[in-house]
Structure 1
Amino acid sequence: MSDVLAADSATIGEPAVNISIFGVFVLITLVITFRASRNNKSAADYYAAGRNISGQQNGLAIAGDYLSAASFLGIAGAIAVYGYDGFLYSIGFLVAWLVALLLVAELMRNTARFTMADVLAFRMRQRPVRMAAAISTLAVSLFYLLAQMAGAGGLVTLLLGVSGEAAQAVVVTVVGALMIFYVLVGGMRGTTYVQIIKASLLIVGAFVMTVWVLGKYGFNLSSLIGGAQDLAVEGRDVAAPGAQYGATGTSKLDFVSLGLALVLGTAGLPHVLMRFYTVPTAKDARRSVVWAIWLIGIFYLFSLIIGYGAGALVGPERILAAPGAVNAAAPLLAFELGGTVLLGIIAGVAFATILAVVAGLTITASASFAHDVYASVIKKGQVTGNGEVRVARITAVVIGAVSIGLGILALQAGINIAFLVALAFAVAASANLPTILYTLFWRNFTTQGALWSIYGGLIACVTLIIFSPVVSGAPVNPVTGVSPSLIQDVDFSWFPLNNPGLVSIPLSFFLGWLGSKLSKERPDELKSAELEVRAFTGIGAEKAVAH
């Protein structure tokens, strides 16, 4: 066992110092969570932080929620290894917020409910639509949780210097248990405060690394990219497109599919939508998105420098050989720049951000089951708020346990976290966004159309992922010597694209239209008018809050 837990001091520094810094971050966030939990007296407090978070606070919290393992670890690693093509993730993630701002944020806030299903079921048959929305929410949350668990496991593996599959599995399990604890105690209010602090620390940490890296190259971006090119994989131009996408017709289609998923997926992410319910007014919802866009955009500029800095100062070979593979680029760069202390600080901040993201995801998934399935479908509304919250907490434990198991698989397969998150975006864009847009903007949308859109998009997306190279059959990476597929040594893939968005998103829009056209149901004109007025003006929203 000593061999399994041995630390590689050449890559991770001093584990005792790392774990001490990590412990300080965890302790601080636990104190914040306990203090916030004192105010959780109702379902609205647990799910929506009492709806009294300001626009600026919510913008910071959204940034903390969004700038997760994918943003800090996955994108930095993708840029370090692939250069230009890795930065395309950042562009997609950022542009997506314009869709959320213009089409979703204010309208969803004005419905003043807890979950996405509250909006979708407003003028539809309640039980089938709520079930469909809850299943979709759980699917998106599990994909996203899979990425965060893998990121947290890889980060702590690097932090503690452990190696071997058994030790990594133990690390992911402990990390997952800690994350579940945050959710059970703090609820949405505790998660929000922790996200605000973590977003601030992460942006400051990224700024310090950015200035440090540029300083080593005389604040000359061309010199930095030249340094990354010197250590790049043989034959790869990190300053030009094509290293990851564009070499073949299939990879070009894959890039289009990825772009669609990233740009349209954000507006359908349940944990992002749920953040809009924590603010008191529609104006605060708009303000929170504007704040989030600025903060996220600035951070992605930092990630460009950090990624190229990791490529120049660490090199793809060392990055891919480290625990967590590409996801280790940013921590390794921190160690290269400032030694053990900077590594511990940056890794601690990154891990703290992951904690908040997973807490938000788990609250969203558990709230969807408790509020939409248990309270509305099983109990038909005959349940107290405390009973609903109790079921949400039990669900959080179950969801956490499942995500731990899947996270172990993803970590050991060495899959890029940014890519895993892109799959979650594909599910959100396929199953959720078409139904949301149809519900808000098309009066003739029916229950059958909603069910066809949600289930059709979800089933198509998940099926195509299962039979894609992401799960099996991907060729062996010549650098790492292993296949990037989730399941090794088997091949049952027949869908050529890594991201299914190019097929599943248009299909979901089509099925929503077709299901509504073929339905014999007559839309409720009064309910449609009420939803339209409430969504666009906010009239009636406060009444819904009181209810």
Structure 2
Amino acid sequence: MSHAQLLFLALILLTLGLTVAARRRTASLDDFYTAGGRVPVWQNALALAGDYLSAAAFLGAAGMYLGQGYDSLAYAVGTLAGWPLLLLLLAGPLRRQGRYTVAGVLSRRFDHAGVRLIGIACSLTVTLCYLVVQLVGAGKLIELLFGLPYLAAVGLVGTLMMAYVALGGMLATTWVQISKASLLFVCALLLAGGTLARFGGSPASLFDAVERLRGAAAFLPSQALSDPVEMLSLGLGLSLGLLGLPHVLMRFFTVADEDAARRSVGLATWLVAAFFALNIVIGYGALALVGPDPQFHGADGKLLGGGNMAALHLAELLGGDLARALVAAVAFATILAVVAGLTLAGASAVSHDLYAGWLKRGRAEPRRELAVSRLAALGLGLAAMLLSTVFQQLNIALMMGLAFAIAASANFPLLVLALNWRGLSARGVIWGGAAGIASSLALIVCGPAVWVAALGHAKPLFPYANPTLFSLPLAFAAAWLGSRRSLDSTPSRKQSQ
């Protein structure tokens, strides 16, 4: 058995062991959804960072540095800008709400079936899109390392993620995230340190080598981001999209109180910033060392396994097969942890909001609600696996940006307005959510990332890859117009209740 296979098996056994242990401490619905609100601040911060630091932030970012240089840094800065906003705008107010999901927060203010349904639709759309990103990374990783067909590789990951959610709930997901985040930081430190050692420990020498290889263009936006409209739209989507990710928002309810939620976000912000700093060295190291090395390229000149495998090739160059196996195993653990959190968020939207809150009007039996949650995890996993086959050739960092755009256009406006605008009505929530989802999805499908890259058309119907600059104002405008036209703009449940 190879090093990679041994490490993969060890990580799978570790995470399954954590899941079994967590199951013994999961006795109620509150335990299943929020770990009973008993997670310490430092653990929740690590889990928050782990929820965000996905396959796109690791594998996709290194591949984007190799292919497009500066663009990857733009993605990192854009998403990092969202963390202070998350701390200031949502961490405290959402924790005070005491709800598990976006739809739960909205339905506390508005006792309206349409409000709950639009909240569920927004959450499930964002969750499904983000799941597809993770499964593409997982499929390509296992396909490259073990020679498995793509569908078999994705099926393996999907089976494991459904097991984590069905067996252990939030506590299992938290423990898996903490383990994964710790391993990811160790791996990033080793890769960054090994890269700098090749250049005498000097980042300046690394950047000089990059400039000799690619010129000053490596430190400037590529053609994809040369348009200021595109750049602004990307930045809006990345920074505000973080505030609409359901699996991140659920973390506010796993700690004891509002102060603990804020401190968790503050610590997680520093952890994410530190990882992105290491990623600059790793990404430009891949450009300088892997880019010109023919052993990592096929006869057609393309990187073996695609751009998402740049970090693995860098690890092999620096430390041989063992280092490559370690990076691959940690990347696999990263994907497993993130998809577990995403699946739990999606399953919660179905079981807690759709089944218990809407169909059963809050009178669902806990045992049946848990059963529905497990079935929902299965359905989400299958849907994400099927969709991942369509988008398997796209860079996962790019796909992450598109998922953030949907979150910024759908969930973010509804949460901000529901928490801060007294004039918002149930009709405004429904109109705003529907406009955000429909416009962001339509513009993404008609844009270059899907209409050209995935569907093969010569020209896009919509010229920009990132739609947030257009879809976000539309969502706000629709919410305002719906509230103005509402016959009764007074919420039936006050937010203060």
Q: Do the two structures share a fold, i.e. TM-score over 0.5?
A: yes
Matched, 1:396 2:377: yes
SS at match of 2:242: helix
Matched, 1:205 2:187: yes
SS at match of 1:415: coil
Aligned equivalent of 1:346: 327
Q: CA deviation at 1:69?
A: 0.4
Which of 430, 433, 450 is the equivalent residue of 1:454? 433
C-alpha separation in 2, matches of 1:150 and 1:128: 33
The C-alpha deviation readout for 1:1-40, integer Å capped at 9, x for no partner, is: xxxxxxxxxxxxxx82211111111111111111111111
Matched, 1:109 2:90: no
| Paired AA for residue 336 in structure 1 | L
| Paired AA for residue 484 in structure 2 | K
Aligned equivalent of 1:148: 134
Aligned equivalent of 2:338: 357
Contact between 2:426 and 2:489, CA under 8 Å: does it hold in 1? no
Aligned equivalent of 1:501: 468
What is the 5 A alignment of 1:15-54?
A: 16-54=2-40
Report which stretch shifted further, 401-410 or 350-359.
Answer: 401-410
Aligned equivalent of 1:544: none
What is the 5 A alignment of 1:498-537?
A: 498-524=465-491, 527-528=493-494, 530=496
Aligned equivalent of 2:111: 125
The C-alpha deviation readout for 1:154-198, integer Å capped at 9, x for no partner, is: 121222245xxxx12221122222222222112110010110111
What is the 5 A alignment of 1:213-228?
A: 213-228=195-210
Root mean square deviation of aligned Cα = 1.7
C-alpha separation in 1, matches of 2:306 and 2:219: 21
Aligned equivalent of 1:466: 445
| Paired AA for residue 409 in structure 2 | S
Matched, 1:384 2:360: no
The C-alpha deviation readout for 1:369-390, integer Å capped at 9, x for no partner, is: 1111111211222211221111
Which of 318, 340, 347 is the equivalent residue of 1:366? 347
Contact between 2:109 and 2:495, CA under 8 Å: does it hold in 1? no
Contact between 1:85 and 1:243, CA under 8 Å: does it hold in 2? no
C-alpha separation in 1, matches of 2:359 and 2:289: 57
| Paired AA for residue 328 in structure 2 | A
| Paired AA for residue 245 in structure 1 | L
Aligned equivalent of 2:221: 241
Structure 2's unaligned 5+ residue stretches are: none
Which of 59, 64, 70 is the equivalent residue of 1:78? 64
Contact between 2:483 and 2:489, CA under 8 Å: does it hold in 1? no
Q: CA deviation at 1:94?
A: 0.8
C-alpha separation in 2, matches of 1:311 and 1:49: 42
Which of 404, 415, 420 is the equivalent residue of 1:436? 415
| Paired AA for residue 34 in structure 1 | V
| Paired AA for residue 480 in structure 2 | W
Report which stretch shifted further, 378-387 or 210-219.
Answer: 378-387
What is the 5 A alignment of 1:286-305?
A: 286-305=262-281
Q: CA deviation at 1:228?
A: 2.8
SS at match of 1:321: coil
Normalising to structure 2: TM-score of the pair? 0.95
The C-alpha deviation readout for 1:503-524, integer Å capped at 9, x for no partner, is: 0011111111111111111414
Q: CA deviation at 1:80?
A: 1.9
The verdict on how the C-alpha distance between 1:323 and 1:383 changes in structure 2, with shifts beyond 3 A counting, is: farther
C-alpha separation in 2, matches of 1:157 and 1:200: 25
C-alpha separation in 2, matches of 1:226 and 1:267: 37
Contact between 1:154 and 1:323, CA under 8 Å: does it hold in 2? no
Matched, 1:194 2:176: yes
Contact between 1:53 and 1:280, CA under 8 Å: does it hold in 2? yes
SS at match of 1:427: helix
Q: CA deviation at 1:347?
A: 1.1
Contact between 1:230 and 1:312, CA under 8 Å: does it hold in 2? no
Aligned equivalent of 1:95: 81
Q: CA deviation at 1:137?
A: 0.6
Report which stretch shifted further, 189-198 or 77-86.
Answer: 77-86
Normalising to structure 1: TM-score of the pair? 0.87
Aligned equivalent of 2:401: 422
Q: CA deviation at 1:491?
A: 5.2
Contact between 2:350 and 2:376, CA under 8 Å: does it hold in 1? yes
| Paired AA for residue 494 in structure 2 | S
Aligned equivalent of 1:253: 229
The C-alpha deviation readout for 1:188-212, integer Å capped at 9, x for no partner, is: 1001011011101101110111111
The verdict on how the C-alpha distance between 1:43 and 1:492 changes in structure 2, with shifts beyond 3 A counting, is: farther
Q: CA deviation at 1:335?
A: 0.7
| Paired AA for residue 287 in structure 2 | G
